[in-house]
Amino acid sequence: MKNRIALSAALSVALASSAFSQEIVLGAGYSDYSRHGAEDGVILSMEYIHRPFYEGRVFSAQLAGAIELVETGDAFLGGGVRGKWDLQQDWFIEASVLPGAYIEGTALNDLGSTFEIRSQLAVGKRFKSGKALSLALSHKSNASTADINPGVNALTLRWHIPLD
């Protein structure tokens, strides 16, 4: 299972590098599972943000994909839409919704189904180099499509690397 996740991550990086893209976002933080007895842990994430399919004066919308790995062996792979609002002095707010597949590493970290949706809200600052730093709060749940829906929250510090 871990070999498949590593292979998926490597493939995602390779595809992101060859595609016309906007940025890669690397994150590290902590996951907090809502289910009693679940194992919380350190989370590492990598996101690929494509060029905007909509770009207005202060708002842009992009397709996005993410892979997240937790030290307990839990993994998430999803894709969806991200919106970004540009604020003054190079600050920004972003929100994303990424449906995807979740695999628990331990039985108590079961979120109810393989299908899970990650929603995320972040605030960040872009630097003159084009790189950015953001702090994100995310939540994964199955939107009550399964018998149980305990959910998991994560707080991550993220480094945005432009590819253009």
Q: Dump pLDDT digits (tens) for 129-143.
A: 999 999 999 999 999
Report which DSSP code applies to 19: S
Regions of the chain where pLDDT drops below 70? 1-21
pTM for this one? 0.85
User: CA triplet 17, 138, 28: central angle to 5 degrees?
Assistant: 55
- Sign for the CA dihedral angle at 156, 160, 161, 164 comes to positive
